[in-house]
């Protein structure tokens, strides 16, 4: 970063002299109005087209928070912009020879490769299956690309591949094409996997977080944060032990049950990197609505809460690999929760909040203590390489 | 969850809020400073201000260890990390703090090896695994973290680890509070005293605030009910015209502090003649340096540190925010040029910084929200 980055930032956001200051420099507007002016100014600044300031990629760019959003919008969307990509949903939905299909891809760099509840192979299959499922598609075929580091034990590779085979069987998909590359020792960390997937859109649904309307209910399908905390503890850097495992699981069965019961579902997202908080912010931003959630409605396992307290992490930002957030019309909330609870992966599904008109773009949380605060996107992530 | 939920009980909070409101004298404004950044974080994270009457304002103090590190020291640290065969270790909070040429994250993208650790002791593990490298721990924090740095140095000395050193930026809280009390542009009614610092130094060091400046101090814990109760205790003192040091956090803070911890600090570190605080300027005897006896573990002695003072950008008003003269949103660049994504001032970096707390948790006009709620009711 060059020395002048501060000057640049200041110049970009230069505001005309504030008219609320009189000749004597005294401020005239009441405090609340001045605060509102500042909030409006911030709102305008946040709606500007994002720009990558850094000269090099930093870990924050991969964390799923603000820096990732900025990178995607400024670099990738900037270069590839087209109507199919633009919604930036978990999968693109397109028409091929009369059929509507969903297409998605995801890369997996989790460290460690093996952890309680799963392996990198489980994530690679389930993650892509879930991206298709929450788009309303029936996942069908996957590709698998491997980047292997010189020296990686074949036994470990066999273990990873066996877990992919089992996960694919459980999800009812087939891995039908693939690729292998080997890089020199030190140029990668053991094993990275990329999977892409296609699914068939059989239902007449058009899902997207931009569809959220005031009055809609927001639902999570189960306790949040299990995966992220499990990985963090599995790294053994913290000397904390807890009896939790990753929630990695294919969500296509759960989603099918929900869509059968409530065809009017507006949107679904699987809560991976950035956690539930990030999805709530995507809803608020893309639908230009306010979101209000209650802390004491959000299911979190005691172990996850305890570890998060110790580490100073908010479970709302911690990744899951087998949970989804759904937006459904308010009147269908009970029906949706019942449909989710009927499936083993959704037993603890709960309504956590509502979409509303007030404060568009902002996610507010009613804390268990009885106060209110906002829930913003994180800039970086305290837990890198969790998937 | 035990030992947590008890301190977040909404019913108890309502009861305390009513008692606080009853103590407010009509027409009087109360400005209370929470010195510690951990308190600022709790206040915003739990939305505690919702419980306070309008006449009670919380002013956020200078007790955020990351926020008070001047840009020049960040540059010095990056310079150290750029030396051949150096691994630097740092608490995660420091990674995003901007120096004049960027943060630790940016430095890593350009080739330095700065690793995040959860405890300074992890640095010793890294030193053992990398005998051909010098491992420099970026030591920051108040008396809260100084003992863990001191213990790590003692442990390194005992184990004969020769490739570990400390870049010492530890600061002490009392001179900063005194600087604020002596600052002409601020009127405070009382202090919510820092809890974690006090576990080490005890409550005695604050007696001058009550005695010489006539301001009550209540040392407080970090759960929202702790803070609410401390505010109530301050309001009781104010209503009775008393100014004393009281200890709300007695379940953790001994009146005389922790002698073992203080001894470890005294063994390894000594006061610097002066140290620059971001926004507050140079304050004499306000920071610690490594003692001569442990010179072999002092990165400032082992390496040439440029020590160039970098003036804060003119537009940045961290100083006023740290002293509590300005609310975060009153800073000219707040939320536009200076955001958690591209922080110009340190107050925007650490989750304990007043600006970051307001931006991340409090960015809604509370007065307006309250007015709207009232209008809806009537």
pLDDT single digits (tens) A28-52 = 677 778 888 888 888 888 777 777 8
Contact criterion met (CB below 8 Å) for A103 and A92? yes
Of A57, A238, A373, the CB nearest to B361: A373
Q: Which of A15, A36, A369 sits opposite B368 (nearest CB)?
A: A36
Confidence band (pLDDT; 50, 70, 90) for B289?
very high
Q: Given pLDDT bands bounded at 50, 70 and 90, which one contains residue B371?
A: low
User: For A33-37, A49-53, B36-40, B293-297, which range has the lowest pLDDT when averaged over its residues?
Assistant: A49-53
Q: Do B106 and A306 touch (CB under 8 A)?
A: no
Share of residues in chain A with pLDDT > 90 (%): 70
Name chain A contacts of B14, Cβ cutoff 8 Å: 370
**Rounded CA gap, B203 and B195, in Å?**
10
Interface test mutation site (partner A, options B229, B336, B343, B357, max chain A beta carbons within 10 A): B336
Nearest residue on chain B to A65, judged by CA atoms? B341
Closest-CA distance, A302 to chain B, in angstroms, reads 7
> Quick one: how far is CA B227 from the chain centroid?
16
The pLDDT tens digits for A65-120 are: 788 888 999 999 999 999 999 988 889 999 999 899 999 999 999 999 999 999 99
Mean pLDDT value across residues B347-366: 83
Using a 10 angstrom Cβ sphere, with 0-12 exposed, 13-18 middle and 19 or more buried, the burial of residue B346 is buried
Residue from B8, B11, B46, B231 whose CB has the most chain A CBs within 10 Å, to mutate: B46
Mean pLDDT of chain A: 90
| pLDDT above 60: residue B125 | yes
Task: Write the CB contacts of A378 (distance below 8 Å, at least 6 apart in sequence).
Answer: A63, A64, A65, A66, A274, A277, A278, A317
Residues 6+ apart with CB under 8 A from B215: B181, B188, B189, B190, B191, B209, B243
| Beta carbon pairs, A and B, within 8 Å | 149
For the ranges A64-68, B304-308, B367-371, the one whose mean pLDDT is highest: B304-308
Task: Measure CB to CB from residue B50 to each of A2, A45, A372 and give the nearest one.
Answer: A372
Q: Please name the residue of chain B whose CA is at the shortest distance from the CA of residue A36.
A: B365
Contacts of A70 in chain B (CB under 8 A): 341
Handedness of CA A294, A298, A304, A305 (dihedral sign): positive
> What would the pLDDT profile of B249-276 be if each residue is shown by its tens digit?
999 999 999 999 999 999 999 999 999 9
More confident residue, A179 or B105: A179
**Do residue B13 and residue A237 have CB atoms under 8 angstroms apart?**
no
Contact state of B105 with A60 under an 8 Å Cβ cutoff: yes
Q: How far is CA A83 from CA A10, A62, A68, A77, A198, in A?
A: 34, 24, 20, 10, 19
- The C-alpha of B158 sits at a distance from chain A's nearest C-alpha, in angstroms, of 23
* Cα B356-A63-A55 angle, rounded to 5 deg: 85
CA angle B66, B226, A35 (to 5 degrees): 60
pLDDT category at B143 given cuts 50, 70, 90 is very high
User: Given a cut of 60, is residue B52 above it in pLDDT?
Assistant: yes
pLDDT band per the 50, 70, 90 thresholds, residue B97: confident
Provide mean pLDDT across the span A346-361. Answer: 95
Q: How confident is the model at residue B366 (pLDDT cuts 50, 70, 90)?
A: low
Torsion of the alpha carbons at B30, B36, B38 and B44, rounded to the nearest 10 = 20
Which among A1, A6, A36 has the least Cβ separation from residue B313?
A6
Tokens of A13: 């956001």
Residue B58: strand pairing partners: B32
Nearest in space to A70 (alpha carbons), one of A51, A83, A86: A51
Q: From CA A228, how far away is CA A274, in angstroms rounded? A: 10
From CA B234, how far away is CA B302, in angstroms rounded?
47
- A363: closest chain B residue by CA: B361
Q: Which of A34, A365, A382 sits opposite B92 (nearest CB)?
A: A382
> For residue A224, is pLDDT > 70?
yes
In A53-154 the beta strands, taken as DSSP E runs, fall at: 92-96, 99-108, 114-115, 118-119, 138-149
Residue of A nearest to B116 (CA): A382
- Report the candidate in B198, B264, B257, B254 with the shortest Cα–Cα distance to residue B63: B198
The DSSP code sequence of B101-137 is TB-HHHHHHTT--EEE-SSTHHHHHHHHH-TTSEEEE
Percent of chain B exceeding pLDDT 70 equals 96
Q: What is the mean pLDDT of chain B?
A: 91
pLDDT band at A265 (very low <50, low <70, confident <90, very high): very high
pLDDT confidence of residue A1:
46
Alpha-carbon distance of B304 to B83, in angstroms, equals 10
Task: Using pLDDT thresholds of 50, 70 and 90, give the confidence band for residue B149.
Answer: very high
Judging by DSSP bridges, how do beta strands A174-183 and A92-96 pair with one another?
Answer: unpaired
Q: Name which of A9-18, A110-119, A187-196 the model is least confident about.
A: A9-18
pLDDT tens, position by position, B234-244 = 999 999 999 99
């Amino acid at each position: 970063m060059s020395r002048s980055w501060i000057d640049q930032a200041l110049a970009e956001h230069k505001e005309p002299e504030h008219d609320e200051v009189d000749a004597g420099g005294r401020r005239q507007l009441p405090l609340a109005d001045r605060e509102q002016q500042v909030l409006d100014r911030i709102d305008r600044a946040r709606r500007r087209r994002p720009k990558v300031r850094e000269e090099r990629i930093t870990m924050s760019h991969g964390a799923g928070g603000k820096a990732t959003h900025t990178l995607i919008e400024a670099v990738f969307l900037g270069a590839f912009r087209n109507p199919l990509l633009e919604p930036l949903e978990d999968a693109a939905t397109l028409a091929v020879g009369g059929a509507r299909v969903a297409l998605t891809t995801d890369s997996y760099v989790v460290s460690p490769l093996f952890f309680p509840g799963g392996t990198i192979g489980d994530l690679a299959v389930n993650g892509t299956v879930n991206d298709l499922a929450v788009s309303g598609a029936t996942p069908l075929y996957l590709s698998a690309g491997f980047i292997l580091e010189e020296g990686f034990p074949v036994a470990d590779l066999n273990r990873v591949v066996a877990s992919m085979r089992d996960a694919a069987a459980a999800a009812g998909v087939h891995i039908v094409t693939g690729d292998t590359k080997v890089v020199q020792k030190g140029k990668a960390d053991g094993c990275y996997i990329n999977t892409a997937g296609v699914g068939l859109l059989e239902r007449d649904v058009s899902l997207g977080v931009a569809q959220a309307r005031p009055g809609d209910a927001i639902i999570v399908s189960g306790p949040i944060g299990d995966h992220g905390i499990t990985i963090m503890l599995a790294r053994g850097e913290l000397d904390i032990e807890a009896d939790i495992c990753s929630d990695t699981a294919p969500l296509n069965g759960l989603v099918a049950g929900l869509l059968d019961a409530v065809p009017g579902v507006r949107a679904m997202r699987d809560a991976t990197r950035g956690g539930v908080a990030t999805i709530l912010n995507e809803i608020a931003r893309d639908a230009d609505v306010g979101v209000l959630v209650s802390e004491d409605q959000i299911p979190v396992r005691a172990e996850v809460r305890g570890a998060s307290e110790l580490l100073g992490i908010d479970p709302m930002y911690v990744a899951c690999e087998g949970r989804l957030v759904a937006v459904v019309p308010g009147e269908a909330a009970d029906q949706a929760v019942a449909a989710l609870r009927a499936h083993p992966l959704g037993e603890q599904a709960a309504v956590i909040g509502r979409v509303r008109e007030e404060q568009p773009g902002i996610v507010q949380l009613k804390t268990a203590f009885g106060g209110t605060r906002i829930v913003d996107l994180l800039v970086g992530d305290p837990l890198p390489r969790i998937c | 969850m035990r030992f947590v939920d008890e301190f977040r009980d909404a019913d108890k909070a309502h009861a305390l809020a009513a008692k606080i409101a009853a103590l407010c004298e009509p027409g009087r404004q109360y400005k209370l400073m929470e010195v510690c950044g951990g308190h600022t974080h709790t206040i915003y994270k739990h939305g505690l201000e919702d419980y306070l009457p309008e006449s009670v304002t919380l002013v956020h103090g200078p007790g955020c260890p990351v926020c008070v590190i001047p840009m020049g020291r960040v540059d010095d640290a990056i310079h150290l990390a750029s030396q051949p065969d150096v691994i630097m270790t740092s608490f995660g909070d420091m990674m995003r703090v901007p120096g004049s040429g960027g943060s630790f994250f940016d430095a890593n993208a350009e080739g330095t090896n700065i690793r995040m650790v959860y405890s300074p002791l992890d640095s010793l593990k890294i030193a053992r695994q990398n005998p051909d490298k010098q491992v420099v721990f970026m030591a920051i924090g108040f008396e809260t973290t100084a003992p863990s740095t001191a213990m790590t140095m003692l442990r390194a000395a005992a184990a004969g680890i020769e490739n570990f050193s400390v870049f010492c930026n530890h600061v002490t809280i009392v001179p900063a509070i005194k600087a604020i009390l002596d600052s002409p542009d601020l009127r405070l009614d009382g202090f919510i005293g820092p809890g974690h610092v006090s576990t080490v130094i005890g409550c005695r060091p604050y007696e001058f605030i009550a005695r010489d400046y006539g301001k009550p101090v209540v040392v407080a814990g970090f759960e929202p009910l702790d803070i609410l109760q401390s505010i109530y205790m301050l309001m009781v003192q104010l209503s009775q015209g008393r100014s004393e040091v009281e200890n709300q956090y007695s379940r953790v803070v001994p009146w005389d502090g922790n002698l073992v911890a203080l001894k470890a600090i005294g063994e390894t570190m000594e006061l610097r003649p002066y140290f620059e605080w971001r926004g507050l300027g140079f304050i004499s005897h306000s920071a610690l340096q490594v003692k001569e006896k442990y010179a072999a573990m002092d990165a400032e002695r082992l390496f040439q540190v440029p020590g160039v003072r970098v003036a804060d950008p003119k537009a940045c008003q961290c100083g006023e925010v740290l002293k509590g003269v300005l609310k975060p949103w009153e800073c000219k660049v707040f939320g536009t040029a200076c955001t958690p994504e591209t922080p110009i001032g340190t107050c925007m970096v650490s989750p304990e910084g007043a600006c970051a707390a307001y931006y991340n948790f409090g960015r809604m006009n509370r007065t307006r929200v309250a007015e709207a709620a009232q209008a809806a009711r009537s």
